[in-house]
Amino acid sequence: MAWFTRRSKAVDQFAVKNATFLYGIGAARWLERRFDLLAKDGYEQNPIVYACVTKLARASASVDLHVYRKQGGKLVKLENHPLLKLLERPNPMAGGRSFREAMATYRLIGGNAYVHGEGIDPFSRKGNPPKELWLLPTQSVTVQAQPQSALPAWYDYRPGQAKPIRFPVDRITGKCAILHLKTVNPLNPSIGLPPLVAAAFGVDTFNSGQAWNKALLDNEARPSGALEIVDREGKPVSLTDDQRSSLKRMLDDRFSGKHNAGKPMVLEGGMKWTPISLSPKDMDHRETMLVTARFIAGVFHTPPQLVNIPGESTYSNYGEAKVAYYSDTVIPFLESDLEELNNWLAPLFGDDLVIWYDEEAIPALEPRRKEKGDRINAATYMTVNEKRRAMGLDDVDGGDVVLVPSTNIPLELAGEIPDLAEPGSDADGEEDAPSPEPEPEPKPKKPKKPKPAEEEEDEDDA
């Protein structure tokens, strides 16, 4: 793409005398901070932003929510509760997961998400639970700040060109029919800071790099150049403004764009085209694009390998990256939403109700659970019941003992020698075939006791 820049009259006259037309680079264009432009330039046209936002929104929405009742210091899961049914089907147009995915998408793009509870009266002491939940477009909602107060005065929702609908805020309790989910914004606490604002320079750089590569492909990777107009003696020829405009239109129509790529340039006498060559380094935007892509992924706390960005990575494999992503990004993002729902929605159905999730039911965290189980099982200082409680299980009878790792016997029995029967004996309990009894050994004969000498003499006399 080529364009001209308007300069001062004196400089312009000098340029006309030289009659040289340069096709070059203009000023940088940065992403504007309006939500519609953030969504268009940042989300729709940038593949890295789209991948990061979609991945986090879908991951957080895929975690099943449950309703618990606080009872005796424990959480008891409730089935078929009205609050659970509302979370599973917020309104006739959206299911629970699609609703929460859209809610997360709005917050990740614009920093704000607005949920309207149909039927909520913020000034009622008892408070009626909402019949339906509706997600309001971020670009259609404005927040009216309240002087000398952290609470807003009201929310205005303008659907299209219709008259705005005002939702007041209780100035004491802060209750409102609108749930405002937002990111931290130190410069304006009334509204959230869009993550795309922090990634704006990277988004613009990446989009410009894609447009640059596309333009080179459309022009068969041929760079722009300079068209010089000289007389027969080789001296520059002066052109009028009309001549310059006509020549520019001719160049754009005949030689610019992908449809004119490869066509030979036919020049009249006195015209000379000097191409501006690009070095291989200038043609290679791959490294710049990869660095920018990793920068954008970092803003959304997404490991680059999870969104198919090649290059160096902190994690050795995809599995490790996924576990870290859920632990460091998905779960904190989900819990921030649940904390607001527990403050705004759950009390309308009961003071002792809690909306939460079951970490054991998240498949992506299975490697972490296995590692935790191995670590707890290897602990020699914990009793059986302590290990079970650490894994979220109930106690068992006889489990208040510590097992020795070598033989897994109670610790108090480790120093005792058990009375074990010899193998093959009756006490051993093994039924072996009867073996023949061994023959008794012959008893040795006793030597005769010598007789006294007197008895021998008596025998001789006899």
In this structure, are strands 132-136 and 152-157 parallel, antiparallel, or unpaired? unpaired
Q: What residues contact 136, with CB distance under 8 A and at least 6 apart?
A: 114, 115, 116, 157, 178
Structure tokens that stand for 360 in this block: 């054991």
Partnered with residue 462 across adjacent β-strands are: none
* pLDDT higher at 431 or 209: 209
| Percentage of the chain exceeding pLDDT 90 | 32
For residue 65, the SS3 value is strand
pLDDT tens for each residue of 16-31: 444 444 444 444 455 5
**Among 226, 207, 218, 219, residue whose Cα is nearest residue 285:** 207
pLDDT tens for each residue of 38-52: 888 888 888 999 999
Q: Mean pLDDT in the chain? A: 79
* pLDDT higher at 258 or 123: 123
For residue 6, pLDDT over 50 is answered with no
Instruction: Out of 211-215, 406-410, 457-461, pick the least confident.
Output: 457-461
**Among 138, 153, 133, residue whose Cα is nearest residue 192:** 138
Q: What is the pLDDT of residue 347?
A: 93
Contact yes or no for 302/257 (Cβ under 8 A): no
Q: Would the pTM of this model clear 0.85, i.e. be above it? A: no
Mean pLDDT of 371-389: 85
Contact yes or no for 235/17 (Cβ under 8 A): no
Instruction: Out of 124-128, 213-217, 458-462, pick the least confident.
Output: 458-462
Q: What residues contact 378, with CB distance under 8 A and at least 6 apart?
A: 405
pLDDT tens for each residue of 439-453: 666 666 566 556 555
pLDDT class of 355 with cuts at 50, 70, 90: very high
Q: What is the pLDDT of residue 259?
A: 58
Distance of CA 113 to the CA centre of its chain: 18
Q: What angle do CA 194, 187, 185 make, to 5 degrees?
A: 40
Q: What is the pLDDT of residue 38?
A: 81
For residue 385, pLDDT over 80 is answered with yes
Residue indicated by tokens 């309790």: 173
pLDDT tens for each residue of 105-163: 999 999 999 999 999 988 877 778 999 999 999 999 999 988 877 889 999 999 888 88
* pLDDT higher at 64 or 382: 64
Distance of CA 180 to the CA centre of its chain: 22
Q: Is 297 left (phi over 0), alpha (psi -120 to 50) or beta?
A: alpha
pLDDT tens for each residue of 337-346: 999 999 999 9
For residue 3, pLDDT over 90 is answered with no
Structure tokens that stand for 194 in this block: 């869009």
In this structure, are strands 65-71 and 353-357 parallel, antiparallel, or unpaired? antiparallel
